[in-house]
Amino acid sequence: MKHYEVEILDAKTKEKLCFLDKVEPNATIGEIKSMFHRTHPQWYPARQSIRLDPKGKSLKDEDVLQHLPVGTTATFYFRDLGAQISWVTVFLTEYTGPLVIYLLFYFRVPFIYAPKYDFTTSKHWVVHLACMCHSFHYMKRLLETLFVHRFSHGTMPLRNIFKNCTYYWGFAAWMAYYINHPLYTPPIYGEQQIRLALILFLFCQIGNFSIHIALRNLRPPGSKTRKIPYPTKNPFTWIFLLVSCPNYTYELGSWLGFTLMTQCLPVAFFTLVGFIQMTVWAKGKHRSYLKEFRDYPPLRSPIIPFIL
């Protein structure tokens, strides 16, 4: 068996960083990254971007050396992606924040509202309902992160955690402040409005969860395969007929429900901002589905049936 020689150059300076000899032809990029890590301990595999061309796309960890367009002395280029943090860590941190923060406002801990309201409870039952819904939503997200989602990438840049937490924690505090305020005004149409809102919220929570399960089942454990999602026996997944990213569709629906339930302008803002971001993501995902699969169903829209 003929062994390969691998040299790794810095993509910017073209400086030779590492030379590996007697590399197996069936070695993967992932294994090469581990070897590179041994000579440069500060660059753990997750922060390495290895490419064939200095300005080219990153090679995947699964790519096999002998299947790449390289000679027996392979030259790769390295770029440092910066400090990385695992998706799981980011999700757990950004979702635990809102859960805890909202409860601080709900229980009216001192220094938020006037001292005479410390540790009092709201006299409006919708405020208690809202707390249950908000807490349920974030607990669901935490459990899904731990047990349901299968991530394509293990990590993301470290700075994302600061950005993401500011967004989630900041908005959670802003919303919770008003909903749990002693001067909170309940919805105009009272019980009817709250009931409708709750039904919408619960329907979309179940829907969102159904989609997450369906997407998980597309991908065998430990793999990173990508397939077109299709409706399953679960009626909540039939929306796949019309939409590429129904998880976002249901998420929007949940927050519209919560906005209706609380009749709170900051909640409406949060819903709007989230909707804009999810639309951007949905359009991107839709486009990559279209690029990757020739037979992608033409009836589907990214996030809103027929519209967006």
Instruction: Name the residues that contact other proteins, by CB under 8 A.
Output: 178-179, 181, 183-185, 188, 262-266
Q: For strand 4-10 and strand 16-23, is the pairing parallel, antiparallel, or unpaired?
A: antiparallel
Query: Least distance from C-beta 261 to other proteins, angstroms?
Result: 12
Q: Closest by alpha carbon to 251, among 223, 276, 214?
A: 276
Q: CB-wise, 4 or 270, nearer to other proteins?
A: 270
Q: CB-wise, 155 or 262, nearer to other proteins?
A: 262
Which residues fall within 8 angstroms of residue 143, CB to CB, at 6 or more apart?
none
Query: Least distance from C-beta 91 to other proteins, angstroms?
Result: 29
Beta-bridge partner residues of 243: 301
Query: Least distance from C-beta 154 to other proteins, angstroms?
Result: 35
Query: Least distance from C-beta 269 to other proteins, angstroms?
Result: 9
Query: Least distance from C-beta 112 to other proteins, angstroms?
Result: 14
Long-range Cβ pairs for the range 48-57 (8 Å, 24+): 48/78, 48/79, 48/80, 48/81, 49/11, 49/78, 49/79, 49/80, 49/81, 50/8, 50/76, 50/77, 50/78, 51/11, 51/76, 51/77, 51/79, 52/76, 52/77, 53/77, 54/11, 54/12, 54/14, 55/11
Query: Least distance from C-beta 275 to other proteins, angstroms?
Result: 19
Q: CB-wise, 114 or 299, nearer to other proteins?
A: 114
Asked whether the beta carbons of 301 and 307 are under 8 A apart, the reply is yes
> How far is Cα 260 from Cα 264, in angstroms, rounded to an integer?
8
Query: Least distance from C-beta 116 to other proteins, angstroms?
Result: 15
> How far is Cα 125 from Cα 301, in angstroms, rounded to an integer?
39
Q: CB-wise, 99 or 130, nearer to other proteins?
A: 130
What does the H/E/C string look like for 126-164? HHHHHHHHHHHHHHHHHHHHHHCCCCCCCEEECHHHHHH
Q: CB-wise, 191 or 292, nearer to other proteins?
A: 191
Q: CB-wise, 205 or 263, nearer to other proteins?
A: 263
Q: CB-wise, 269 or 281, nearer to other proteins?
A: 269
